[in-house]
Chain A
Amino acid sequence: MRTWKPAPGAGAGETSVPCSRRAFLKSSALLSGAALWDAMRPRPAAAAPPTVARVGFIAHVGSAQSLPRSPAGLEVAGYAGLLGARAGAEEMGATARLLGREFDVAVATAMSPAAAVRAAGRLVAVEGAFAIAGGYGTETALALAEFAERQRVVFFNVGATSDALRGESCGRYTFHVEASDAMYLDALADWFTRGLAFLVDEDAPQGVRIIRRAPTRRWFLVAAGAPIWQARRLRAHAALERRHWGGRVVGDVVMDAGVGQVRDVLRAIDQAHPDLVLLLLGPDAQLSFMKQYETAGLRFEVSGFPEPLTQTRVFLAGLLAAAPRSAGESIRAVLWDPAVRYAGALELNSRFAARWKHPLDGPAWAAWCAIKILGEVALRAHTTDPAQVVRYLESDRAVLDGHKGIVLTFRRWDHQLRQPLEMVRLQRDSGDLMGTAEPVGAIPNVNAPGRDPQQVLDQLGDLAQESTCRFSII
């Protein structure tokens, strides 16, 4: 474990951003070496002084703490999250010092649910952390949520989208910065069924660039057989049938790995002539499917469920490499995009890229935001008592800023962070990692005047009456 304290001059971007994959991996390796040294360094096993507000971050990275070369490894998201947590630690540490306080983040690594729980125990008992952030993958997030309930310590989920975590498995001490399955599926349904989408672009002939011209009516769902993917398949149906008039499912197949079965699925897609094929598949399966889809020569538009790993530039580059024609120009939903420029996003993205030589992608933003929120709580609520932190975050006083152009708050009924999501369009032949996607709009539109921000953001995800969460009393 290592305690992350801000570096002098944190926040001062002084270098240009290398964008090639080679430079990206090289800088990652350098950071990895430093991280490994930190991990091996002997540390005093004393609890933090009470004046230091400390958060524990559980990174899903191996002992080398490096960026894996496989675009489908969960460590890709874990590594981005680690950098996001470090950025949050630097910024909130600097802010705390301005106010005569202390805040830092203790980092541990874990690659399994059991290891994550052990790490959480050490972070709380030894490092004195009042809150834990992490949770890459549903099982790990669930294990940490259960730990949080048992130990009565705050847990911020930054890496799992599962609706069950917000529903029947919800916990009073658990808060979700990562968006839920329901939010991502609602965003996809909203974007594709709405049809016309454009960007204001002064250089375009008419001052705008048309991104889409026609609504997506005919949806073809390809879902994995595991229960979580079937739950997502049902929620996709709900998104289309209950909320988004005009979109209908014309094909709905369950697909597992067999090559022969993929051929059958491709044939079914070809016969259905959908407007969109939505892949409710894991990262590996999305890459594999897209490769075969490309080979088959089908031309229907494809999007995929945006698990955190699939939002990274590394994965998107892998997707474009596997299926340049089919993935190029395709639209995907993400929690955050490193090329977003509005509402302070340009400054945040630039600052992060310059400091960490890594794009601020969805997983990095989630970790950064989680640390920022927990730091804000410690500074504003003047408490690190977990029960008081929970009450504060549930109250109207918890006004949160994530550079998303609108005030962010937690839903009281399931502790999900209300927030807009970004839609990005993949770009082949971009030549660098940053260029593999461009943001093409936020869902919902946060700039429309005259509505309460909570109402605006509650267009995504499940409302109180739909929630199966029943919190314990603290």
Chain B
Amino acid sequence: MSLLHHIGGPRPVRAGTGGRGTGRRGGVRSRRWARLGAAVAGLLTAAMVSPTGSAPGASGPRVYVSNEFGGSLTVIDAAGGRVTGTIPIGPAGTARPRGMALSPDGSTLYIAVTDPWPNRRESPYKFIWVVDAGTGKVRAKYPCGSDPERLAVTPDGRHLYCSNEDNVTATVFDLGTGKVIAAIPVGIEPEGVAVSPDGRWVYVTAETSNTVTVIDTATRRPIKNLLVGERPRVVVFAPNGARAYASAETAGTLSVIDPVRHEVIQTIELGRDSKPVGVSVAPDSARVYVVGGRCNCLFVIDAPRGAVIAAVTQKMGRRPWGVAVAPDGRKIYTANGRSDDVSVVDAASLRVVATIRAGRGAHSVVAGH
């Protein structure tokens, strides 16, 4: 029995048109909602590209924050530590931007967007939104299965993998042809997605199954499933490819995975009151940073030893869920969903050196070049 379902998907949908969505069902009412939503999205997009829109204005490295309840992205000038723009996605409370990824060259930002209705298939928001990192303009919306939550882009920039939270699949989108090319079965309630630095493997977590599915990108088939801690959320690979790390929110653990054998080789206890979600690895792969949403803290883990060496709590924002390391490794950024801000942590002193206002429900953060 084949585990792979090839799907010929529609062409990418231009932002503002609403598109046909990926829905297979839906009554008159939901179509009406979809049309209304599409109209709103169109107006918002028009505002984005207008000269008076709040496009990012700095030219240096940028940090992007998805605001799940604010329906927007916050753009931060990394050097100046200030907000330079806000990119609206949709109405607050309706459009929910969550996971993000930058293209390998840093020129394009991809955002997984959903809405508050998991069973509603037709939605103007449930797409991968594509933003030009230079201009801050929304370029397109890509279909990527139902209810996309997080995503990753392959190192060659050709494919995008996203998790479909309300389904048991990860969808593969071909960025060259603009088509969905596969829906791969994974665990129940998939969330975290990561591509290995060599592009060979994709890992997908599943919150209900408590699993990490290993996908071979050559065949686009799952080859193995690993049992990890309860309610796994984010999974990342170290830049050197030697390890992968998966956080488990309910268990309060970080699973260390050997990506050669695809086996959990260590479970690092972060405390059952920690609720770890976001994970990021320093560019030299020597440190792993994990944010705890309940302890309001940033765990610093020595990667070779697999041991927690510090927990930053002072001046940390509330409910940090997203974390990103600057490309030079000197700053760590956390997206704080309850205080609606970003904590900037100095990697040398491990102190919060700045707090930057973001939008409602800051969810994820990525740091560009």
Binding site for B on A (CB under 8 A): 9-17, 91, 94-95, 98-99, 202-203, 341, 344, 346-348, 350-351, 353-354, 376, 379-380, 399-401, 403, 406-407, 447, 449-453
Contacts and interface: CB of A to CB of B under 8 A. Distances in A.
A9 B146 CA distance: 14
Contacts of B92: 202
5 contacts: A94-B187, A202-B92, A351-B118, A354-B119, A399-B251
A91 to B, nearest CB: 6
B24 interface: yes
Nearest to A201: B93
Interface of B: 24-27, 30, 69, 92-93, 116-121, 165-169, 187-189, 207-211, 213, 225, 227, 229-231, 250-252, 272-273, 294-296, 360
Contacts of B189: 11, 344, 347, 351
B168 A12 contact: yes
Nearest to A350: B118
Contacts of A17: 119
Nearest to B229: A399
B273 A344 contact: no
Contact of A94 (B118, B165, B209, B295): B209
B168 A407 contact: no
Given A401-B210, A401-B231, A449-B296, 7 more contacts: A10-B168, A16-B26, A344-B207, A344-B231, A449-B273, A450-B295, A453-B273
B229 A98 contact: no
Contacts of B296: 449
Contacts of B165: 347
A14 B120 CA distance: 8
Nearest to B271: A452
B291 to A, nearest CB: 13
Contact of A98 (B24, B120, B187): B187
B273 A451 contact: yes
Contacts of B273: 449-453
Contacts of A95: 187-188, 208-211
A99 B225 contact: yes
Contact of B213 (A13, A98, A347): A98
A15 B27 CA distance: 10
A118 B107 CA distance: 68
B167 A11 contact: yes
Given A16-B27, A407-B250, A449-B273, A91 B208 contact: yes
A370 B201 CA distance: 35
Counting chain B CB atoms within 10 Å of each CB, the highest count among A341, A350, A399, A451 belongs to A399
Nearest to A372: B208
B187 A407 contact: no
A122 to B, nearest CB: 30
Contacts, number: 111
Contacts of B25: 14-16
A11 B119 CA distance: 11
A341 B187 CA distance: 21
Task: Tell me if B's interface is mostly helix, strand, loop or mixed.
Answer: loop
Contacts of A376: 210
Contact of A407 (B27, B69, B230): B230
A407 B189 CA distance: 18
A345 to B, nearest CB: 11
Contact of B166 (A351, A380, A447, A450): A351
Given A16-B25, A99-B225, A449-B296, A91 B188 contact: yes
Given A91-B208, A344-B189, A407-B252, A11 B168 contact: yes
Nearest to B166: A13
Give 10 nearest A-B pairs by CB, closest first. Answer: A350-B118, A98-B225, A401-B230, A401-B250, A95-B209, A11-B188, A12-B167, A11-B168, A399-B251, A401-B231
Contacts of A380: 227
Which of B207, B208, B225, B252 is the most central at the interface, judged by chain A CB atoms within 10 Å of its CB?
B208
A42 to B, nearest CB: 27
Nearest to A456: B273
A12 B27 CA distance: 19
Given A94-B168, A400-B230, A401-B210, A447 B294 contact: yes
Nearest to B23: A14
Nearest to B207: A344
Nearest to A447: B294
Contacts of A346: 116, 118
Nearest to A451: B273
Contacts of A453: 272-273
A259 to B, nearest CB: 46
Contact of A16 (B93, B120, B187, B229): B120
Most buried by A among B92, B187, B188: B188
Contacts of A347: 118, 165-166, 189, 207-208
Contacts of A401: 210, 230-231, 250-251
A346 B251 CA distance: 20
A399 B30 contact: no
A380 B251 CA distance: 13
Contacts of B229: 399
A99 B227 contact: yes
Nearest to A346: B118
Contacts of A348: 208
B251 A407 contact: yes
Contacts of B209: 91, 94-95, 98
B34 to A, nearest CB: 13
B211 A353 contact: no
B27 A14 contact: no
Nearest to B252: A407
Contact of B227 (A9, A350, A351, A379): A379
Nearest to A354: B119
Nearest to B24: A14
A450 B293 CA distance: 11
B272 A407 contact: yes
B295 A350 contact: no
Nearest to B292: A449
A52 B231 CA distance: 24
Contacts of A379: 227
A208 to B, nearest CB: 14
